[in-house]
Amino acid sequence: MTRILFICLGNICRSPMAEYVMKDLTSKAGLSEQFEIASAATSAWEIGNPVYPPARQKLAEHGIDCNGKTARQMTRLDYARYDHLIGMDESNLCDILRLVGGDPQHKVSLLMAHTDHPREVADPWFT
């Protein structure tokens, strides 16, 4: 099983959207059983809060339900549990590395580094 943790600052916009889109993609491909997919925050600001309503609405427009998802903060233990820790921007990567104490197994990356157009995913909360 491949374990993927998507990470952003608050875990209410970008990382839960990535989590639920990836869950939808793996489900439609019949691969759900091969993946464990989750998301978390680098900060404690939004712990326990649901997905930001505009993000929830955008997912719903694509038939993706994220009801019940609440924000949680990542921990050092997540580095051991997950195969891939995927941040949305360079600030997330710095925070992830600080929280887990480095990346000796090369598990940490930017989401868009896995595409033909590597770049940061802007935080809609601040843009």
Residue given tokens 């439609």 in the structure block: 28
In the residue annotation, 3 being an active-site residue is answered as no
Q: Which residues neighbour 50 within 8 Å (Cβ) at sequence distance 6 or greater? A: 12, 56, 69, 70, 71
Annotated catalytic residue within 3, 72, 103, 123: 123
Catalytic position from the list 8, 56, 89, 95: 8
Nearest Cα to 108, choosing from 121, 117, 95, 119? Answer: 95
Find the catalytic residue in 14, 24, 56, 66: 14
Q: Is 14 a catalytic residue?
A: yes
Give the residue among 52, 63, 22 at the shortest CA–CA distance from 39: 22
Note if 72 is an active site residue.
no
> Hey, which residues are catalytic here?
8, 14, 123
